[in-house]
Amino acid sequence: MKPPRGGSLVALYVTICSLLFIASKMLISFLLYKRWARKKRIIDNDSLAGGKMVMFRSAGNKALLHQSVSPKAFLSMLMGLSSKDVIGAGGYGTVYRLAINGGGSFAVKRLNRGTAEMERGFERELDTMGDVKHRNIVPLCGYYAAAHFNLLIYELMPNGSLDAALHHPDPACRRRPRLRWPDRFRIALGVARGLSYLHHDCIPHVIHRDIKSSNILLDHHMEPRLSDFGLATLLRNPTASHVTTVVAGTFGYLAPEYFDTGRATTKGDVYSYGVVLLELLTAKRPTDESFLENGTRLVTWVRETIEDKREDHAVDEALLLTGFPAHEVKLVFSVADRCLDSDPANRPTMAQVVKMLEQQN
């Protein structure tokens, strides 16, 4: 028998390599599918509002997946929420507190269902939001989609919002302590890191569209967590263009160019973040009545104090009592001033903001 020719050996080699390549692709696809299947538990239940519930396993909701809470029992708890469980309300819906016996609590946001066009990409967008994992972002634990409403299930942040901590502090209450400077600086840095993650590291990139103190929640360790990210995009009409007459954001925090273009951008988020920095420094809301009476704004008032080298006159009186490092306060004023530049092109990115604040540490 004649030995195989060189051409035959090459053909055999190519065939083997091709088979190995196909097998590896099939193996990778199988492993990715298994990872996806482990990521969430899907419960279909026609007896409770005819809806479907999806829970993300990787969201840290261990209590929800505990054997003592069955899927049917948890759905019954969701359907049993009432006005006595309301803990907040905003532009996107009503928020309820859901307590699990022996297993912690969750925040449940109820959204009314929109048009068929709006609902078409709803679950796809929610799955994307479930993939967002960062220590400074409130994780989406899951959702329940029914015929006339949707429920978004989040981890409950025990220390409430930054808005409450700044503007309604209760020194005698653990849940709303008066914020000292180290807390405020940590919050400023944490929010910057979370927003930088959304802008630069998320795929696809996310524009928050509604950065404000009431959308910054505080966990057990007073670490900030951004909430309501993605909801402005989630609830928009997909048939509309990115230019809309519906305001995506909150007056006092909106960048000036938004009123001209109607476009939400990352630099618009940067501007809103700058307003939050001024809130941390002054403990004044951008819509404070004192500004309205004088025909000015928080941004304008602080700018005037910076130009006159009188930043200390704008600092929250509570900080004057407890003390603060002047160089850190001056840095935060400087970062805020850059974020609030009237020209979006001159504002830093959130990644640059993080670097500026981290240099102080």
Integer Cα distance of 172 and 193 in angstroms: 31
Q: Cβ distance 334 to 188 under 8 Å?
A: no
Which three-class secondary structure state does DSSP give residue 207? coil
Compute the distance between CA of residue 161 and CA of residue 168 in angstroms, rounded to an integer: 10
Q: How far apart are CA 107 and CA 92, in angstroms?
A: 14
158 φ/ψ sector (left φ>0, alpha ψ -120 to 50, else beta): alpha
312 flagged as catalytic: no
Pair type for strands 224-226 and 149-155: unpaired
Q: How far is CA 171 from the centre of its chain?
A: 28
The alpha carbon dihedral of 334, 339, 345, 351 has a sign of positive
Render the burial of 272-295: b for 16+ CB within 10 Å, e for the rest: bbbbbbbbbbbbbbbebeebeeee
φ, ψ for residue 87, nearest 5 deg: -120, -5
Residues in the chain: 361
Q: Could you give the CA distance from residue 285 to residue 146 in angstroms, rounded to a whole number?
A: 37
Q: Is 109 known to sit in a ligand binding site?
A: yes
Catalytic annotation, pick one of 183, 210, 269, 288? 210
Yes or no: say if 253 and 273 are a contact pair by the CB < 8 Å rule: no
d(CA 130, CA 166): 30
Among candidates 81, 144, 149, which has minimal Cα distance to 111? 149
Distance CA 207, CA 266 (A): 6
Give percent helix, percent strand, percent coil of the chain, each to the nearest 5: 45, 15, 40
By the 8 A CB rule, do 130 and 56 touch? Answer: yes
Enumerate the known binding-site residues.
109
Task: Could you list the residues known to form a binding site for ATP, using ranges.
Answer: 109
Which are the catalytic amino acids? 210
